[in-house]
Structure 1
């Protein structure tokens, strides 16, 4: 049995393991993060640690909050918040590489089911200036473009905040949703007349800052917290962002590899590719980490970066996931290694996606396309097609359907996007027939499978799911026809 990674064992790690860029013992907390999954640990936490080191400002440690379970808190607490990032890449000759770095930016971890009060107190603390989120698309509990006020967790948060306003007593009732946790924390901050705050969502949603601001406002309004809403409008900003780094699920083999390098056991290990990108709108309400000194791009307009990433990288990723899974490929690397699928992805990007985009400053979109495909080839990541295929009902609208609408508006039929949508439909159908061995991990799984298996046909059934396809697109005969043709080709070709 090896020792566990911790502050005690940190000094004894071998030289090939990179230690935290700042001494964790000297780091104060200035950031609350909601949703400490693998992506945050491999992305924003790394940028924040590097920013502290570059600026010599150690006041930006992270109080991280789990979502549905205490698992990450249970992993990191015995390790004093420390964890490793195992970066897996390919050398020039194609041989695999693996570099291990320990991150110390996370200084506290809470599980809302038991520690909501501690999180709310931290959000109200004048020393906390930034809140960040990675809660996935479905974590925002939306119904269409609005907060789902019928969601049980959202209802519980509305009631908790309404009770606080009615009684004048602060409640530490367990938060039922990330939006509820955020709104309740901002309400507590407003009552204490604390300093302004910046809330940075890092999930792949179009205009994510504006979206989050709207959801918070809706929850405050539903709670009768009009004064709080007015305070938030004056003192809180919600910058838009774009994030990019492939972070696959950590396997037992990855943990064994890290243990062989470090000599210690790390229950919080995350795996990532070498590439990382973070673009943040320059709209901060107060102090913040010097993220630009860690390589982040701070810009007045995130949209071109966001559109290129969502439509080229994420759209291609989803296409390879659906097509690859149905064809029996386990990983994205295997799927993109199929020359036929690689050519289909290039055609999707060249014929339909790039014509809808404004290139970000300094970015050549064809070079970006090639770089994306090169990243997908990395077999060391083990990013599975099933993992990428999850939550398709949430991802399709932002990754593919916006491209389809733009092409139709320009008078062109988006045949390549139609093929991508058809690939998703065939994937859903295969999960519904029970014979393929494929599983559908999606918040609308039952509805989608029912629609796919209904008597009206696969295309009509799934285009009729309004939560995915807006009527203006679903009823466009050009699009319907193109999708139908592609479904027929993928099913019988």
Structure 2
């Protein structure tokens, strides 16, 4: 994030020396940061990591006995340069503004990060840090696209340009997995033993997927290393949850006024936080359960619930709301039409697919989701929600569609969202003919397929990389074509279309019951 310099007389930049001068209502680290060791190296220090894993550790470090669990962040991309510069200037401290739905705000300074390595300037330094004996866990929040999963096959995508580079140049890695493999090889050769690789991304079976992708790449690079990884490295599955919008200028101004300090990259998040972790760590772990996390033997039902309801729900609101002209999640779900559509999607097309979860009231969970989405103090932009939809929707939304098809169930509510994605990718305009900002690695490819819709209504679905064989399913394509006709009609109104689809859905459900 590029931020203009502040011209201030009394306020200094956030750093260790200023902590004692902060207002008393600011929750600051009470532990000695100079005594921390970086037992965790985290790749992908985005807003979510700083509101979630790092925040849990910040609370844990307040109690003696966890000093070995400090964090060293790693930025793999050139775009991480500004973050590195800011964190170094701030002694790796940052502000966390936790906003409750009722307007209450918790103001914190997070101190669990103690170092940050910028890979483009020194790749070997990253590998050495990962391979260091202090490193017990290598954690990841690299977004869905960083796992290089081929959406059609579910296997590792060896056709990716960065992956091809890593295979040809194993000592000059680009992808997170190539760095991890290089470090594990160094530890294997030295006899040091393995570390745990912990995914913190919104991917169902994220640990198992991480294992599958890393061992596939390692097999291509060094089969003996791949076998060693299979036998020694732990990859715990986990479900993570905390809504964390992109930092805005208003957030920076709030911190400056409230904290009386200048933080160039504070983080704002909701008050709700959840972390369910499979208890499978080969080299020790923090006692995150003492600060609110939950260790379980099987994360699967929790993952499925969250991904199919919360993450898919975000995409439902994001795509439909963007076309209507809304800008944030809370604005969209505050519209009764959108709220009713979302709740029907969750109740009728997702809930029947979920497993029983001991101690979880699904209706209560869905009520809480609506309340969280409607939090007026969390201005989560639809641009962020819809970003990288090509990586998100196959896991969040299409997975439910395919499962409903297998069970012979209707998916018309979700199908309208897929049709809306086509319209969104094609026109990049809302109903008021104002431009929509699209952020997606596949934006050009998506637009190319979508822009042929006028001559071929199923054109968007012919991208088998994303949709597999959906274009061959007659019931799906019938509903999809109806949705496309409605969206592309000159007089189309997304709210009217949603109400019509919702009414038809209730008719179908009533017939199934009778």
Same fold by TM-score greater than 0.5: yes
Q: How far did residue 456 of structure 1 move?
A: 6.2
Return closer, same or farther for 1:470/1:226 CA change in 2, 3 Å cut-off: same
Partner of 2:510: none
Is structure 2 residue 276 aligned with structure 1 residue 279?
yes
Q: How far did residue 455 of structure 1 move?
A: 5.4
Q: What secondary structure, in the 3-state scheme, does the structure 2 residue paired with 1:253 have?
A: helix
Q: What secondary structure, in the 3-state scheme, does the structure 1 residue paired with 2:109 have?
A: strand
2:483 and 2:43 map into 1 onto residues whose CA distance is 40
2:31 and 2:64 map into 1 onto residues whose CA distance is 11
1:5 pairs with one of 8, 14, 27: 14
Q: What secondary structure, in the 3-state scheme, does the structure 2 residue paired with 1:146 have?
A: coil
Return closer, same or farther for 1:193/1:458 CA change in 2, 3 Å cut-off: farther
Partner of 1:50: 59
2:306 pairs with one of 309, 314, 327: 309
| Residue range with higher mean Cα deviation, 191-200 or 145-154 | 145-154
Is structure 2 residue 297 aligned with structure 1 residue 300?
yes
Partner of 1:267: 264
Q: How far did residue 432 of structure 1 move?
A: 7.7
Partner of 2:164: 155
Is structure 2 residue 355 aligned with structure 1 residue 358?
yes
Cα deviations by residue, 1:211-263 (Å, 9 ceiling, x for unpaired): 1111111221222x122212211210111111100000111111111111111
| Residue range with higher mean Cα deviation, 202-211 or 300-309 | 202-211
Q: What secondary structure, in the 3-state scheme, does the structure 2 residue paired with 1:53 have?
A: coil
Q: How far did residue 366 of structure 1 move?
A: 1.3
Return closer, same or farther for 1:462/1:183 CA change in 2, 3 Å cut-off: same
Q: How far did residue 436 of structure 1 move?
A: 3.8
Mapping 1:401-480, distance limit 5 Å = 401-431=398-428, 436-454=434-452, 457=455, 459-471=457-469, 473-480=470-477
Partner of 2:5: none
Mapping 1:83-232, distance limit 5 Å = 83-91=94-102, 96-144=103-151, 145-161=154-170, 171=171, 173=172, 175-223=173-221, 225-232=222-229
Q: Structure 2 stretches of 5 or more lacking a match? A: 1-7, 498-514
Q: How far did residue 401 of structure 1 move?
A: 1.1
Q: How far did residue 152 of structure 1 move?
A: 3.1
Q: What secondary structure, in the 3-state scheme, does the structure 2 residue paired with 1:127 have?
A: coil
> Is the contact between residue 51 and residue 292 of structure 1 (CA under 8 Å) also seen in structure 2?
no
Is structure 2 residue 27 aligned with structure 1 residue 18?
yes
2:446 and 2:65 map into 1 onto residues whose CA distance is 51
Is structure 2 residue 344 aligned with structure 1 residue 333?
no
Q: Structure 1 stretches of 5 or more lacking a match? A: 162-170
Q: What secondary structure, in the 3-state scheme, does the structure 1 residue paired with 2:458 have?
A: helix
Q: What secondary structure, in the 3-state scheme, does the structure 1 residue paired with 2:348 have?
A: helix
Partner of 2:512: none
> Is the contact between residue 152 and residue 176 of structure 1 (CA under 8 Å) also seen in structure 2?
no
Cα deviations by residue, 1:338-378 (Å, 9 ceiling, x for unpaired): 11011100110111110000132211111111100100111
Q: How far did residue 457 of structure 1 move?
A: 4.6
2:471 and 2:183 map into 1 onto residues whose CA distance is 40
